[in-house]
Structures are given as structure tokens and as C-alpha cells.
A and B are shown apart, each in its own frame.
Chain A
């Protein structure tokens, strides 16, 4: 962003603008321009974000099967139905277990990778790319590789072959809920896919830590390694960690792709979105209950996000800048 470049650009532009002088009053009005810039976005937002949310809220109070313009008002019946429905409540449990596991493990793995890559002197760009490359894969592609190659439940699967060398019997990774080996498949797929992305955030933050802090710590006798990590690196990464955990939580709530593809024919291990997908768009086309479920989930997500923000002090880092 050099200033010289912009000056060159500004001059011919100014010359061209002179003929339009008479209409300047309207063009110069901030209110007109504000709506000119934000109008298209706000109209779209109203139609494709706000309207569906409100419609969903409205639908959730009606019995709406196979129709989106229902006339039978049922009050909170859809809500009580969903909240007493074992599948839906169970899916909330699935999600909670999933989030409780995936959020800390991804945080730890991506931070470790960032610490490793940050210390490399040679091949740093190479390894950064290696860890980052899975971000290019979709959850569908990863599910396919995981399900049909690595964790295929039969003898030709890679994992079973490797385990076979150690005399371990074939494991039906995805076809059997007890023991729940499918968790291992799902968690490793997601770790592989998203760790590289968060590693980049940590790398950027690590490089912003002023070197003098470490110098000062060394003079004060802090041993390099755990002590500097515990008392300098970790506190300095606080803002990034908070943002990462929030993003991870939101991403965990949106979990759909790998569950849908890895456990397509099963009834276990369904997170809320998969449950809602089958409820609203499956055979029963129950938009009323589906909408009620979506509302419940949204309220839950807002609550967790706000709580986490309070707990971790999200936004504090912004203010101090």
C-alpha cells in the first residue's frame, strides 16, 4: 500500500469526476451513500437471514408436516415434543461429548504444531504447508478416505492391517456403537482437517510476541522451555486462545458433514444438525418440529457463546489494543 501509487491513481480519477458536478448534492449526501453501499446487503440479509429465522419461529408453533403454510396452531407442543424426544435430547448429549473432546484436543494440537513450526530454522515453509494442506480438503473427502481406506472395518483397511501386525483382531470402526470406536474415527478426521487452520492463527500470534520479553525472562533466570512457555508464551497467547476456542465451539456446533457421511446408515452418534436434517427433510417432512429444534439449538448456542465470552473475557483483548 504505497502512497505514491495512490497519488497516481487519484489524479486521473479527479479529472474524470468533474463533468458530473451538477448531481453532486445527492452524490455527496452521506445518508444516500450509506444506503447505496449497505442497501443490497441489508435487503439480502432481511430476506435470506432474518425472514427464515422469523418464519422458523412462527412455524415452530404450528403443526407443519409437508407444508410451510400451516393453519393448525399447537402452541409449545413442538417444543415439548422435541425436548422429550430421546433422539433429539440424545443428539444434544452427543454434541456435548463431541465438543468437550474436540475443542481442547484441537487447541492443544494446533498450538503444539505452531510451537514446533515456529522453532524450525530450515524447511519452516514446507512443514507449515504440510500441516495446513488438509484445510483444502472437504469433510466429505476426508470422511471418504477415513471410512473407505484408513478405518475400513474389514481386513483391507489400513488401520486394521497395521493393528493386525501386532496381533489385534479386526475392529468394526463404524459399524458397532459398543465399544464406541467411531468416536476415534470422527475425532481424528476433524483434528486432521482443522488443526492446520488454527495453527496459522497461533503462528501469527507467536510471531507478535516481543522478543524482549524472553530476553528479560532469561535475565531474571527463567529456564527456557516450560517456564518461559508457562509464564510468557501462554499468557501472551491469551487473546488468540480465546478466539480459537470460540471458533472451535461454533464449528463443533455446526458438525454435520463428517457425522452424516461416516455414520450414514446408523442411528447412533447423531449430532443435533443431523437429527434435525432427518426430522425436517426426511420422510416425515416435519417442519414444525424441525423448526422448534432449530430454535432450541440456536438459543443453546447463543447461551454457550455468551457464557464462554463472559468466562474467557472475549473481547478484552480487542479493547486493550
Chain B
């Protein structure tokens, strides 16, 4: 084998082979560009419609570019009394934020306990957690609703947030991560007299901020975008999250087009910010966690 490798051609050729090159560079960019165009169109349409008049959206002659940009639509959305959009935006912000904080706290602690603390029955506990992964959360919405409504938590933040905190999947991901965390760091801390609790907060967490940030980003996105559970729990319009509110506008015939699109644009905005500023962690976190999933 080594002899065969010797006369390897100059570094450029195998490199190109490694990239799989059937396509010329131009063809590659054309294909990527066309795909990119189709991926961006829905965003464009959303913004275009949000800044148009209803006449322009539903006009006889549909046009790709609007003739007149209606910036006034923004203030109209937040002053329109018939569309309680500000409230739903606030509900979503509260729910998604508390959901993220709670999930990270509860699941990371449990993941660490399962990964690192020697206990006779730890394996059995771990299997009990793994077992919940087999039951998709969406399927349990009927029994969960029954439980939450008997607790009197319908239409409350508690009902929206607390049942979603105990994610077997997130706990599992944290456990996998902590298994790979360098043990020597904690051992040094233990020698210096720290207990598990102290070592966790002073050594493990500060050195895992990258992973926590990645998980926080993913959890926040899921919390913000979740629909089925808020739909089930939010029966009163005052407790609707953004997603439930949008869904209701969509099926309600009287709501005006440009306001619906403006509302949708605002519902996406926080996550676009998350994407712009935290993309590094997000991509890294998904790449790390998804494969093990």
C-alpha cells in the first residue's frame, strides 16, 4: 500500500475528487443559486405581502414586485383592537423563555446525574428515561390535556410551560454530552474539597457554555414554534401564543390579508435574530446532537 501512495498526483487532483466533481464550478453555482431562489421566495412573498395593501395582494394582475410600500401596516397591526397580536407575542416570549430556562436547568442536572454519579440503580433510571423517547410527545396530548385540565391549568402559563419541561430527549442529549466531558477537571475539583453540586456549578457548567448555548437555541426555537400543545391549552384568546393566534386569523374570514402577513413576519422575526446571532452554536449544536439522536 505505501508504495502505491508514493506517486500520488499533485495535491489538487484528489482534492477535487474528494469533492465529488461531476459538476463544473459554474453548474454547481447555478444549481445552488436556483435552489436558493426557491428557498428564499416564501420569505420574499411574506415581506412583500406584509407591506402591501389588500388590493395589491388580491389584485387581478398578480405582480412580483409591489408598486407602493405600506410601512403604515406595522403600526396598524399593533393598534388594531380586533387582533390581539401584542398580547400573543408577549405570551410566546414568556412561554418560550421560561420553557428554555426550565428545560436547561432540569434536564442538564438529570443528564449529569445519570452520566456521572455512581448509583446502584442508575441504569434502571436511565432506561425509564429512555422509554419515554419511544412515546412521541404529540401522541400524549390527549392524556396530558386531561391531566392539566384536572389540575385547573388550562389557559395558564403553568399549563403552557410546566408539562413540556421534562423532555426525555434533552435529558438524554445532556447525558451523552457529559459522558464525553473530561473527567479530570471534576476530579481535581473533588480533591480540592468540592462536592458534586459545587463541582457541577463551578467547573462543569462554566466549561460547557458552548453546549448549553446550543441546546438553549434549539429549545427556544422549539418552544417558540410549538403549536399543538398551546392550541390545546390556550382556549381563551388572552392565553394564545403567536402560533395559535396566527392559526386563528387564518381560519377567520374577516381578518385582512396584509395584517395576517405582517403578524406572521413579526412571529418569525425573533427567531431570525436568534439565527443571525447564534448561528454558530445552533449549527454546531445540531451537528453534535442530531447524529446521536
Q: How far is the CB of B141 from chain A (nearest CB, A)?
A: 8
Least CB separation from A1: chain B residue: B207
Q: How far is the CB of B272 from chain A (nearest CB, A)?
A: 6
The CA of A27 and the CA of B199, in the complex, are separated in Å by 12
- Interface residue from A30, A49, A239 paired with B291 (Cβ < 8 Å): A239
The CA of A226 and the CA of B137, in the complex, are separated in Å by 40
Map CB proximity to B onto A21-36 as digits: 1 under 8 Å, 0 otherwise. Answer: 1001001101101111
Decide: A55 near B146, CB < 8 A? Known: A10-B202, A133-B39: yes
User: With contacts defined as CB atoms under 8 Å apart, how many contacts are there between chain A and chain B in the complex?
Assistant: 368
Return chain A residues, CB-CB under 8 Å to B221. 135-136
A301–B136 touching, CB < 8 Å: yes
Return chain A residues, CB-CB under 8 Å to B243. 138, 140-141
Map CB proximity to A onto B246-266 as digits: 1 under 8 Å, 0 otherwise. Answer: 110011000001001100100
- Of residues 139 to 192 in A, which have CB atoms within 8 Å of B's CB atoms? 139-150, 154-158, 161, 192
- Interface residue from B32, B147, B192 paired with A117 (Cβ < 8 Å): B32
Max chain A C-beta neighbours (<10 A), residue from B40, B140, B261: B140
Chain A contact surface mostly: helix
A148–B291 touching, CB < 8 Å: no
Least CB separation from A244: chain B residue: B290
The CA of A305 and the CA of B264, in the complex, are separated in Å by 35
Judge if A89 is at the interface, Cβ distance under 8 Å: no
Max chain B C-beta neighbours (<10 A), residue from A145, A205, A239: A145
A140–B246 touching, CB < 8 Å: yes
- Interface residue from B4, B32, B42 paired with A134 (Cβ < 8 Å): B42
Least CB separation from B7: chain A residue: A219
B39–A131 touching, CB < 8 Å: yes
Return chain A residues, CB-CB under 8 Å to B136. 250, 253-254, 298, 301
Max chain A C-beta neighbours (<10 A), residue from B40, B42, B221: B42
Return chain A residues, CB-CB under 8 Å to B17. 214-215, 217-218, 222, 224, 228
Judge if B60 is at the interface, Cβ distance under 8 Å: yes
Judge if A96 is at the interface, Cβ distance under 8 Å: no
The CA of A139 and the CA of B243, in the complex, are separated in Å by 9
Judge if A280 is at the interface, Cβ distance under 8 Å: yes
Decide: A294 near B140, CB < 8 A? Known: A68-B150, A218-B13: yes
- Residue pairs across A and B with Cβ atoms less than 8 A apart, 22 shown, are A7-B188, A9-B203, A13-B202, A17-B195, A31-B119, A40-B109, A44-B166, A119-B20, A131-B35, A135-B275, A144-B264, A145-B42, A150-B45, A203-B287, A215-B17, A224-B19, A254-B136, A260-B231, A277-B141, A281-B232, A287-B142, A301-B136
